[in-house]
Structure 1
Amino acid sequence: SAANGSHFRQQEIVVTRVLSSQWCRCLETAELLALGPVEPFAPLNSFFRDRSTRDAQTAKVRDFMRAQATPGVTVMVTHFVNIAALSDRNIASGAMVILRLNDQDALEIVGQITIQ
């Protein structure tokens, strides 16, 4: 996590917000990134044990992204199932997916970062 945060700083990526699942391991990961104050954000909580919340949580994250007008990057620390629901991609633990909303209001994968 610290290496991922260091990568952001080395690349001079401006992070305006850091949001995290309320689960301890995500909050700890977000803190270790050291990219700014961490804001707990319930829609990022894992729905692995209760898939019935998947669509509602995913919609709330999309709505949040849609409403962003601030320049810069919002980092969201979440769980495998949440990332898969948002991106339709399975990624390795510790990897980061870079998403944006395109002109058709669909999430588009811009890149992926995996630091060894």
Structure 2
Amino acid sequence: MDTGMQTASTNIGERMGRSQELSDSKRGPVIGCHLCNKSIRDISWLLNIPRSTVSGIITKWKQLGTTATQPPSGRPYNMTERGQCILKRTEVANCLQSIAKDLQTSCGLHISTTTVRREIHGMGFHG
């Protein structure tokens, strides 16, 4: 009888890699068992989920009141924002080139864009 029970249920802990998460339908029974005063070890054994996963689900539920996946912390990566930063860099480079050309025509000296950038930075203009 036990062997039939083991083959019917798959061990989620063996199949689950570090990057995979449990679905909401699998997190619900963990909280249900917790509310029925089951221990973490018992819940882990009943649902075939690692104890660390069960503990994490219960802790998250106690702290946040939900088991839903939260967005990652930190600044979100936004392609348009990165594109705008690149655009700004090219605009700055074009501006430095035009300043260098203007100085070259007015003074008759060859001045590189690096010199212009260094002098503007030395005056206190940054970023």
Name the TM-score class by shorter chain.
under 0.3
More helix by share: 2
TM-score calculated relative to the size of structure 2: 0.23
TM-score calculated relative to the size of structure 1: 0.25
Which one has a bigger Cα radius of gyration? 2
